[in-house]
Amino acid sequence: MTYFADLSPYGYRVVETRFNERLLNVGWLDASAPFSKGPVEHDVFERLFRRCEKPVNRCRGFHHCLYGSLESPPSPCSIPAPSTLGPWTLVVGNGEIRVPGQNGIVYAAPTLICHYVQRHGYCPPAEFLEVLRNYG
């Protein structure tokens, strides 16, 4: 998948921004760059998961997760990658989510973010988690 640093300006596709809206990237990970790790509260993860159930910018194929293959020992992730919440399983990697934040900021994340958080311990930026926590 295309890599973008967390909180960099979004530019993956020609954009749907509205006036005074700033789209920022979150969760566009790639094996070439390290990512922050840490626990994400269950409630916050649930809000993230719910948003990934209704993606935007869906594409026909699935982006694959390569992190499992890089683990020691390698434990390749399923294709497409799954994310689970209780009895629900979501296949992710074929869309994006938008999370409106403060001051005209909107976060743009791939749906793979659910899988990255759950399976690989990715910890998204604090301000993004804060928005989900408060306005999820």
Q: Strand 96-100 to strand 88-92: parallel, antiparallel, or no bridges (unpaired)?
A: unpaired
Per the CB < 8 A criterion, the answer to whether 17 and 105 are in contact is no
Task: Give the nearer residue to Zn ion in terms of CB position, either 15 or 79.
Answer: 79
Please state the closest distance from residue 119 (CB atom) to Zn ion, in A.
5
For Zn ion, which stretch binds (CB under 5 A), given 18-26, 34-42, 46-54, 62-70? 62-70
- Segment near Zn ion (CB under 5 A), from 35-43, 56-64, 74-82, 98-106? 74-82
What single-letter DSSP state applies at residue 122?
B
- Please tell me whether residue 68 binds Zn ion under the rule CB under 5 A: yes
The interface region with Zn ion, picked from 25-33, 34-42, 58-66, 87-95 by CB under 5 A, is 58-66
Least CB distance to Zn ion at residue 106 (A)? 26
Number of helices followed by number of strands (H, E) in the chain = 4, 5
Residues 6+ apart with CB under 8 A from 49: 83, 85, 88, 90, 114
Query: Residues in the site for Zn ion, rule: CB under 5 A?
Result: 65, 67-68, 77, 119
